[in-house]
Amino acid sequence: MNIQHGNSWTGENVSGWHCSQKMDGWRAVWNGSELLTRTGNEYAAPEWFTRDLPATLLDCELWLGRGKNCDDVHRAVLANEWHRLKLVAFDIPQVGLSIEGAIRLLQSLKLPSHASAIEYNRAESTDHAVRLMREIVNAKGEGLVVRKPRTVYQPFRNSNLLKMKP
């Protein structure tokens, strides 16, 4: 399964880029009927966890919250503790759909209580993006993801998506 991955931020100007919190969890893809790993294997999610998800392709993260990491998520999945997990959708990988269109669609989704769409902001400047990243890190988050305006989902590692971490 090919999914979009970002490069590490190395000081590029990200003024005007779309910003969201970087989730430290496990990547997941909801294909409209199954919850899949980044390699295309099906998660053994209980029926209640996927029942009310939309029939829309979503790029997501299984997440436990700030201060928790991918190892904590792994342990929760292995222990079948799905009630602790949240599914956070951050993109809609449709051919030709811009990030702005994906954000609008994400905001319009009706999601169950254990799922949400990520919140996006615009970086007023690179300094603003750095301040947002520091706020997230100071609150025990992993960092910030920034996405270049008017770009479409590219199912490979690319520089239109950057990860800002200390």
Query: What pLDDT is stored for residue 95 in this prediction?
Result: 86
Query: What pLDDT is stored for residue 140 in this prediction?
Result: 97
Report the number of distinct structural domains present in the chain. Answer: 1
Q: Are 133 and 142 in contact (CB under 8 A)?
A: no
The answer, yes or no, to whether residue 62 has pLDDT greater than 80, is: yes
Predicted confidence band of residue 1 (pLDDT cuts 50, 70, 90):
confident
Q: Give the span between the Cα atoms of 106 and 147, in whole angstroms.
A: 15
How buried is 115 (Cβ within 10 angstroms: 0-12 exposed, 13-18 middle, 19+ buried)? buried
Q: Give the span between the Cα atoms of 68 and 141, in whole angstroms.
A: 8
Strands (E), the chain: 5-8, 18-22, 26-30, 35-36, 58-63, 86-91, 115-117, 121-122, 143-147, 157-164
Specify the CATH number for the domain of residue 118: 3.30.470.30
| Residue range 78-95: mean pLDDT, rounded | 96
Q: Maximum CA pair distance of the chain?
A: 44
* pLDDT, tens digit, 9 for 90 and up, residues 87-127: 999 999 998 999 999 999 999 999 999 999 999 999 999 99
Provide the residue range defining the domain that includes 117. Answer: 5-164
